[in-house]
Amino acid sequence: MLNVLGTPVVEADRVTVAIAGRPVLRGVDVTIREGEFVALLGANGSGKSTLVRALTGLRPLTSGRVRLFGTPLHDFREHARIGFVPQRATAAGGVPASVREVVASGRLTRRTPLRPASRADRRAVQDALELVGLADRAHEGVSTLSGGQQQRVLIARALAGDPELFFLDEPTAGVDLPNQQALAGALRTLSERGATVVLVAHELGPMEPLVDRAVVMRDGRVAYDGAPLSLDAVHGHHHPFETTHDHAPHVGSPLDRLEGGR
């Protein structure tokens, strides 16, 4: 829901990030309120992933301020309230790991080191697996799953900590349509439970109906912030977009299109 009066969950105030001396984000102001489902859209290099990394504390700010749940990012310690799905092609590493093990590491935000997992921890992991529809694959090696299933594992990992605020960095990149639909189903459930979702995407696909606010980035600045534009409003005519799976930023960054593309 578009929640104009809700409690601010993420506040970015003139956020500027420079990577190796080059400004990548310039004066970004965004406030995301409780329960909103926000899509961060934009072309490659527009700064949308960098913005998410800045909001989660992975990228130091050059200037500006970020507050999460009202607390300055620097002092923010309630990690369990945040679920993060980083941009990754695979959930597998150099050593085999089972689906359940990967998902269980999402529970670390609520666990004390050197203590065994409690019953609540195990139940949360099981619930997360069920929500993404992978409970029957829990004991299999992550590397044996398809790319789309691995993305679902990464989402289940973020879910396992029972967070209120989700950051998802391109979870649908290179994922086939059935898996995108499974992802969208899981995100719908989350959103209905009242979670705040910040989703970075090139193309929304099956997630489109869930989005109630689009923030379009272009060249490190916010180019558009408001209700998602319908395809017709952007293009003026109908595009059969279910069949397009390339990474050209048509739905992803409508304003780029309006102004002549990349």
**In the complex, which residues of this chain contact other proteins (CB under 8 A)?**
56-58, 77, 79-80, 82, 84, 86, 88, 91, 93-98, 100-102, 104-106, 108-109, 111, 113-114, 117, 139-141, 144, 154, 157-158, 161, 167
Q: Is 54 exposed, middle or buried (0-12, 13-18, 19+ CB in 10 A)?
A: buried
CB of residue 109 to other proteins, shortest distance in Å: 5
Please say which residue, 165 or 201, places its beta carbon nearer to other proteins.
165
Compute the least distance from the CB of residue 77 to other proteins, in Å.
Answer: 7
Phi, psi (deg, nearest 5) at residue 141? -70, 140
- Interatomic CA distance for residues 103 and 154, integer angstroms: 7
Which CB, 19 or 255, lies closer to other proteins? Answer: 19
* Shortest CB 242 distance to other proteins, Å: 18
Looking at the Cβ atoms of 66 and 204, the one nearer to other proteins is 66
In terms of CB distance, is 99 or 210 closer to other proteins? Answer: 99
Task: Tell the smallest beta-carbon distance from residue 261 to other proteins (Å).
Answer: 31
List Cβ neighbours of 227 (8 Å cut-off, separation of 6 or more): 2, 212, 213, 214
Q: What CA–CA distances, in Å, run from 231 to 32, 115, 218, 223, 237?
A: 24, 51, 19, 17, 8
Tokens of 82: 């945040």
The CA-atom distances, in angstroms, between 71 and each of 54, 67, 158, 182 are 15, 5, 21, 34
Q: Which is nearer to other proteins, 55 or 216 (CB)?
A: 55
Minimum separation from the CB atom of position 15 to other proteins (A): 17
